[in-house]
Structure 1
């Protein structure tokens, strides 16, 4: 009643926790932006081309059908990849070519510039859909007036938790990184749809109007922290960010790229966001600092 949204309330996974299932208003076009090099790697014992399997997962498993799929592909593409994508996605597919040195932020911005939807779903190529209604779940949440971005629950290939929202505890962390997928967290926080200071761009739904308002991803952050920066830009404008445990995907993180932290990127973050990174409004100062979980300070 407070927000004027039609919704159904159902029991959550533990007593005292409830899920609000919001009805989607209309049938908004969701533009899915997937940056890729067309790489392949072995997952669950099988060689897979990441972007092909990500698109297959979207087409075959995701129930929400009003989507366009924008693949930002390094030129030239590996043999056969474009043909496989065209067979899977048909006329919902747009290929946008990228022929510069690696810059994740630039590639995503380029894809978003070709989007026709009022909502843009940022999606890494190393993703596989687990819950078929993940798009509906995220769309239902983002249609609340002041919500700008919604993130999902991401799991590693072995089932451990990769992402449950950002936690800015002096440095940016993925909350409860590496914990079991069914771990509830302090006060069942991992079982609740909740506000958070940030979410990963590996799977994030953003209102296109607000994406344009904040300027998308920052190109100076070519590989790291670009989603932290985006989250903080959005919150600085007064908008809210939500995370939901009911949109679940696998994320085979960095299996084709060795993760490194560029010192210049770290310098940009510390200069731009020093105060917010130390004062997360969704973190309790009575918890231990510099941790990705919530543990009371030792006395």
Structure 2
């Protein structure tokens, strides 16, 4: 039976609380084994970037995918926290004046506004390296092959062929490097890299921790890709229809910068139909898992129906 929306929201909130507690511990001022010291200003700025609430969707996907495959506890929680730190690093750098130039994130001043630009750059650097440290830690999994697969997967999802490459394409879509008139296929590729790659890997990380076989891994990757694409289309719709106050970040940025989205190509109603198609695609990918995948089915529905 599909979980009710209220039970799903409760589960999402429960995981978010667990992740918040883990992140708070990881970002304490006390130096960890092998560290010389933790500069207090850097730690304060890192906590500002990370401990600002949020749905914690990426660690939720890791934890729930692993749980569906029979693995629970500290390992998935640590892996999910590492992915969340990587995600937060990307937001800090995206917000910089040289990138998206945003003053607001999750209803609070962005890191370069609350501190300064140099500190924000270093915050991103530190969050990125800490993310990989966590994935490589024995606390994430005792099997070095599993930890290696997690590190490799996150590196590929976040690097030049994934999130970072997608950010460059996003900047190019603003016309920074010459004329920009992206086709629908080019927009889909950009979004798959910039946003979709980390969301997809969040699911794959749970599959890795859950020792999924090749067939299950392929199905879960297909689910993650459909969810990631749906997330971005829904985000584009929210950017057009919601307010800065509701979202906690500036809206209408893409239109201001003349950057095309799928909403431009498909229209709002077409974009909503595309969301519905992607939900169906994600659910089809979960068919081999039966009822144990109901939380993941609810997750993709949540992604397209959310209002913030």
Normalising by structure 2, what TM-score?
Answer: 0.28
Higher strand share: 1
Higher helix share: 2
